[in-house]
């Protein structure tokens, strides 16, 4: 289907990202299997419930490479405590004939793996209107709202925006991404009317953005509630909620930058189905801390959050010792492997370390202490204040990382080691980490390099 306002690139992208008829039929059959199994067992337990498909599959905005769906079991006559602590028991019993894994984010749920598809079965409380309880309680209302706004053309416009955000690396509200969720892509398309219009609007966004798809939000109140959010998008089903609360300044800036470049020179490389990487001419040294642990026993969001914090801390520590961090990143397979990494302008320092001392208006005891210490260790001079210098105590970034790791073993675990990588030599690095290091530190996306 060709709809007004699309260029040949967007049409080509849609040919690659629309789900196939076979894919949709298989997902529908999987939904029917799961639904029937749940209905039989839960009814036998005397539970009162409604089963609904949710998410991209139910909204008609699914991408071809996503063989997945959400199945919500909306229980009546229960409370949050029951959902959090007891709901998985009857669900697991109902699905005992399927391969099932228990998971937990803000709420517990089950993942069924079936013929290459992943179906998340999510317990929630049935409600006539959105509540302030568990976030999943709003999901059915999100699905109904989006479906009421999208025809086939608009559903494809959403797919284009999702693929664009995925292609530039700004898709996903998880802790390790802090970008745009699928629901955000749907709201922005609805608010602006099309993929092209949304990209044009994003290219003109400032450092603080307010988007209100239904013109029902109280901007002053939302900005008071979300003072740290660079982007506020009013949730049409809960007007006092910012649907973009997860979006970081970095991901907002990335969306603005990519939108400007796409409008300047549209290219397939902006979209996830065609995304590629281009190797850098120079490969900076990277300090990596590799850890092994039972990360599968923890909620993924907690692990990613801890790694994010650790990567920032390591970068600050290296900077405090005189090194120049270029980029910090982190990785986990959510199983047994995790890592943080910091690339540097140089992993070795030479010469003297300069120390900034007190000014003339500081009390005399601090002045005397600084002078005495600097004369003992190296030397000093007088400028707008006192300055000193001394020989560097640590001259290799690897030594700084090992010292930092010894002091922060509780943050990352005891089975960690620091590795210094020079010249992009990834030999001896576990396979999944090699791919992460290559992508994060030695390449740039092709859409950025193709100007």
pLDDT at 411: 83
307 assigned to some structural domain: yes
pLDDT band at 451 (very low <50, low <70, confident <90, very high): low
Please indicate, yes or no, whether residues 186 and 222 belong to a single structural domain of this protein. yes
Residue 422 lies in domain: 280-349+394-444
428, pLDDT greater than 90: no
Please indicate, yes or no, whether residues 382 and 405 belong to a single structural domain of this protein. no
Please indicate, yes or no, whether residues 284 and 427 belong to a single structural domain of this protein. yes
64, pLDDT greater than 80: yes
pLDDT in tens, 255-265: 999 999 999 99
Please indicate, yes or no, whether residues 271 and 408 belong to a single structural domain of this protein. no
pLDDT in tens, 160-169: 999 999 999 9
Q: What is the CATH number of the domain that holds 77?
A: 3.30.460.10
Comparing 247 with 105, which gets the higher pLDDT? Answer: 247
211, pLDDT greater than 80: yes
Please indicate, yes or no, whether residues 180 and 94 belong to a single structural domain of this protein. no
101, pLDDT greater than 90: no
Please indicate, yes or no, whether residues 294 and 344 belong to a single structural domain of this protein. yes
341 assigned to some structural domain: yes
pLDDT at 1: 54
pLDDT at 132: 59
Segment 345-364 mean pLDDT: 92
261 assigned to some structural domain: yes
pLDDT in tens, 286-299: 999 999 999 888 88
Please indicate, yes or no, whether residues 328 and 436 belong to a single structural domain of this protein. yes
Report the number of distinct structural domains present in the chain: 4
Mean per-residue pLDDT over the chain, rounded: 93
Please indicate, yes or no, whether residues 169 and 22 belong to a single structural domain of this protein. no
Segment 24-44 mean pLDDT: 94
- Of the residues 259, 275, 291, the one at which a domain ends: 275
Please indicate, yes or no, whether residues 300 and 409 belong to a single structural domain of this protein. yes
Q: What is the CATH number of the domain that holds 318?
A: 3.30.70.590
pLDDT band at 27 (very low <50, low <70, confident <90, very high): very high
143 assigned to some structural domain: no
pLDDT band at 116 (very low <50, low <70, confident <90, very high): confident
105, pLDDT greater than 80: no
As a three-state string, the secondary structure of the chain is CCCCCCCHHHHHHHHHHCCCHHHHHHHHHHHHHHHHHHHHHHHHCCCCEEEEEEHHHHHCCCCCCCCEEEEEEEECCCCHHHHHHCCHHHHHHHCCCCCEEEEECCCEEEEEEECCEEEEEEEEECCCCCCCCCHHHHHHHHHHHHHHHCCHHHHHHHHHHHHHHHHHCCECCCCCCCCECHHHHHHHHHHHCCHHHHHHHHHCCCCCEEECCCCCCCHHHHHHHCCCCCEEEEECCEEEEECCCCCCHHHHHHHHHHHHHHHHCCCHHHCHHHCCEEECCCCCCEEEEEEECCHHHCCHHHHHHHHHHHHHHHHHHHHHCCCCEEEEEEEECCCCEEEEEEEECCCECCCEEEEECCCCCCCHHHHHHHHHHHHHHEEEEECCCEEEEEECCCCEHHHHHHHHHHHCHHHHCCCEEEEEECCCCCCCCCHHHHHHHHHHHCEEEHHHHCC
144 assigned to some structural domain: no
């Amino acid at each position: 289907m060709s709809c007004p306002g699309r260029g040949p690139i967007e049409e080509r992208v849609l040919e690659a990202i629309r789900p196939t008829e076979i894919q949709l039929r298989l997902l529908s059959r999987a939904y029917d299997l799961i639904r029937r199994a749940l209905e039989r067992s839960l009814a036998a337990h005397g539970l009162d419930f409604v089963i609904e498909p949710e998410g991209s599959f139910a909204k008609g905005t699914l991408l071809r490479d996503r063989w997945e769906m959400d199945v919500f079991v909306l229980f009546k006559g229960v409370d949050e405590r029951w959902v959090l602590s007891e709901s998985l028991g009857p669900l697991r019993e109902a699905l005992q004939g399927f391969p099932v894994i228990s998971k937990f984010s803000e709420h517990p749920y089950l993942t069924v793996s079936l013929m290459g598809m992943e179906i998340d079965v999510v317990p929630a409380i049935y409600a006539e209107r959105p509540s302030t309880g568990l976030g999943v309680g709003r999901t059915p209302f999100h699905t109904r709202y989006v479906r009421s706004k999208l025809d086939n053309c608009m559903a494809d416009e959403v797919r284009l925006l999702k693929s664009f955000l995925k292609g530039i690396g700004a898709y996903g509200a998880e802790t390790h991404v802090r970008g745009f969720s699928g629901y955000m892509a749907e709201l922005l398309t609805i608010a602006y009317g099309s993929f092209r219009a949304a990209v044009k609007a994003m290219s003109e966004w400032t450092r603080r953005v307010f988007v209100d798809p239904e013109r029902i939000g109280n901007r002053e109140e939302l900005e008071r509630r979300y003072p740290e959010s660079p982007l506020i998008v009013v949730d049409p089903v809960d007007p006092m909620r910012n649907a973009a609360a997860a979006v970081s300044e970095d991901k907002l800036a990335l969306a603005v930058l990519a939108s400007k470049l796409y409008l300047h020179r549209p290219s397939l490389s902006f979209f996830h189905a065609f995304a590629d990487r281009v190797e850098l001419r120079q490969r900076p040294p990277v300090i990596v801390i590799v850890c092994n642990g039972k990360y599968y026993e923890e909620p993924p969001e907690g692990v990613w959050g801890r790694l994010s914090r650790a990567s920032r801390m390591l970068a600050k520590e290296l900077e405090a010792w005189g090194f120049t961090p270029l980029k910090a990143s982190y990785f986990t397979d959510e199983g047994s492997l995790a890592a943080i990494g910091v690339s540097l302008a140089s992993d070795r320092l030479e010469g003297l370390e300069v120390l900034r001392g007190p000014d003339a208006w500081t009390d005399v005891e601090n002045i005397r202490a600084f002078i005495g210490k600097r004369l003992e260790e190296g030397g000093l001079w007088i400028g707008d204040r006192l300055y000193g210098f001394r020989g560097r105590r640590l001259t290799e970034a690897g030594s700084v990382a090992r010292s930092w790791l010894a002091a922060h073993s509780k943050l990352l675990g005891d089975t960690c080691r620091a590795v210094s990588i020079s010249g992009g030599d990834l030999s001896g690095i576990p396979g999944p980490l090699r791919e992460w290091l290559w992508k994060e530190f030695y390449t740039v996306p092709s859409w950025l390099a193709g100007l």
